Amino acid sequence: MKGLAPLFLGIFGTFAFSWVGLTVIPNWQIGSLNPQSDEEGTEIYPRPQSGMFERGGHVYAANGCVYCHSQQVRADYIAADIERGWGNRRSAPRDYIFERPVFLGKMRMGQDLANIGARAPAPEESPAPAGAAASPAPAQAASPSSGTPPATAPAALPGTSPASAGSPNASPPPGQRTGVASPSPGQMANTTPGGSSPAAPSAQTPSAPWPIQTAGLPPMYSAAWHHVHLYAPRSINPDSNMPAYRFLYEKRRIAGERSAEALQLSGSDAPPQGWEVVPTYDAKCVVAYLMGLNQSHPLKEVRTVGGAPAPAASPATAVQGTSPSPAPAGAPAAPKK
């Protein structure tokens, strides 16, 4: 080949072609999406997140959570993500418009986290925090000291179900969550094996999905549970290969009375008598971040698949898949009661 000009132009041209094609044009297409709102403009999704959520995202980045956890739910006709209970619809670009950085992830050495916040048990205060998904406050309130008499739950009944912690009546009728902006209660992927029905057949427990609600621990996916899980993953699931993030916690001598934030640890992970383990601010932020990850709000551009399996309608199937029929398919579930 002779001459520098054609070579240079070719090198530049191929680069520019790819740059325009794969980044600039997509930026025109989906680079300035707005939140979706209904006619009255009351239900807006997604909403900007709290400062704690944002900081939590940086903690998430700093500690490389993204190298094991994805945050994207694939469509039901492509993969088993929805059957696994990781979401009730595929993720769409609009879900991420306020996230920075975005952690779509490339690896699942751990579970998908796109909807981890949606799996949290219902906060005890019934008035759901409107859209303030990240708001860690109610979740914190659900921490061991204030609610959930943990040890009393018999082992065979792991589902110290979210709602049952409060008064049974506060248990939100599942149908109501249709189109509710807040990431409130029950939630589609309620992996709590026993479900909220105390009469849940205990036969299900042996094959319960991972992670398992362990007796004596805070309700699964509550803020308190996340703290225990981050501090001592193998106290929740002995087979977990998640590293412990103890450096996000502080072990200190109990001054006066035990802090309400102190982790509810047992066995060898528990601090010695007179000591307690409390989350640092970073730990609180990363948990606020996790609690804020929630793509359960329906979007017009994607079909919601699983509906919201009503807590009563054996939510376990959504996860265990022992019966392949993906729960009550179709529209957001009608109340069964």
Partner 1 sequence: MNNTGIPLKDPAVSAAAGDTEQLERAYIDASTRVPVLMFYTSAIAWLIVGTVLAMVVSFKLHSPDLLSGISFLTWGRLRPAHMNVMVYGWASMAGMGTAVWLMARLCRATLRFPLLLAAGAVFWNVGVLIGVGAILLGDSTGFQWLEFPRYVAVILFVAYTLMASWAVLMFRYRRGDQIYITQWYLLGAFLWFPWLYAAGQLMLFVVPVQGVLQSAVTWWYANNLLFLWFGAIALGTAYYMIPKVIGRPVYSYHLATIGFWTYALFSSWTGMTRLVDGPFPAWMITASIAATILTMIPVATVGLNHHLTMQGYFPLLRYSPTLRFTVFGAMSYTVFSVLGVLISFRSVASYVDFTQVSIAYSHLGLFAFFTMTIFGSMYYIVPRLVGREWRYGSLIKLHFWASAYGIGLMTLMLLAGGFLQGANLENPALPFSESIETVLPYLRGRSLAGILLTVSHFIFAYHFGLMLLGLGRTSTVPTFLNPVEAETSGGH
Q: For residues 160-199, which are near partner 1 according to CB under 8 A?
A: none
**In the chain, where does DSSP find H-type helix?**
4-19, 25-30, 51-62, 137-141, 223-231, 233-236, 281-292, 316-320
Among 9, 21, 168, 250, binds partner 1 (CB under 8 A): 21
**Residues near 34 by Cβ (< 8 Å), separated by ≥ 6?**
97
Site string for partner 1, 39-58 (x = CB under 8 A): ------------------xx
Q: Which is nearer to partner 1, 57 or 123 (CB)?
A: 57
What's the closest the beta carbon of residue 95 comes to partner 1, in angstroms? 7
Q: Which is nearer to partner 1, 47 or 74 (CB)?
A: 74
CA distance 282 to 328: 39
Among 74, 132, 176, 259, binds partner 1 (CB under 8 A): 74
Q: Quote the tokens at residue 260.
A: 């309400």
Q: For residues 239-298, which are near partner 1 according to CB under 8 A?
A: 239-247
Among 9, 19, 251, 281, binds partner 1 (CB under 8 A): 19
Among 75, 141, 254, 270, binds partner 1 (CB under 8 A): 75
DSSP β-ladder status, 249-253 and 44-45: unpaired
Q: Which is nearer to partner 1, 125 or 250 (CB)?
A: 250
Classify residue 174 by burial, with Cβ atoms within 10 Å: 0-12, 13-18, 19+. buried
Q: Which is nearer to partner 1, 30 or 155 (CB)?
A: 30
Strand partners, 89: 304
DSSP β-ladder status, 36-37 and 44-45: antiparallel
Pair 275, 101: CB distance under 8 Å: no
Count of CB atoms situated within 10 Å of the CB of 56: 26
Q: For residues 76-115, which are near partner 1 according to CB under 8 A?
A: 78-80, 83-84, 90-109, 111
Q: Quote the tokens at residue 254.
A: 């109990």
Among 273, 324, 325, 337, binds partner 1 (CB under 8 A): 324
Is residue 29 close enough to count as binding partner 1 by CB under 8 A? yes
Q: Quote the tokens at residue 219.
A: 């309700």
**Number of residues near partner 1 (by CB under 8 A):** 85
Stretch that binds partner 1, among 16-24, 180-188, 215-223, 327-335 (CB under 8 A): 16-24
Site string for partner 1, 195-234 (x = CB under 8 A): ------------x-xx----------------------xx
What's the closest the beta carbon of residue 27 comes to partner 1, in angstroms? 6
- Name the nearest CA neighbour of 33 among 230, 278, 274, 299: 299
Q: Which is nearer to partner 1, 33 or 141 (CB)?
A: 33
Among 146, 322, 330, 336, binds partner 1 (CB under 8 A): 322
Which amino acid, 169?
Answer: N
What's the closest the beta carbon of residue 150 comes to partner 1, in angstroms? 23
What's the closest the beta carbon of residue 330 comes to partner 1, in angstroms? 19
Say what the alpha-carbon torsion angle 287, 291, 293, 295 is, to the nearest 10 degrees: 170
- Name the nearest CA neighbour of 119 among 308, 323, 337: 308
Stretch that binds partner 1, among 26-34, 137-145, 197-205, 257-265 (CB under 8 A): 26-34
Among 9, 61, 156, 334, binds partner 1 (CB under 8 A): 61
Please provide the DSSP assignment of 110-138 as one string: S---TTGGGGSPPPSSSS--SS-TT--HH
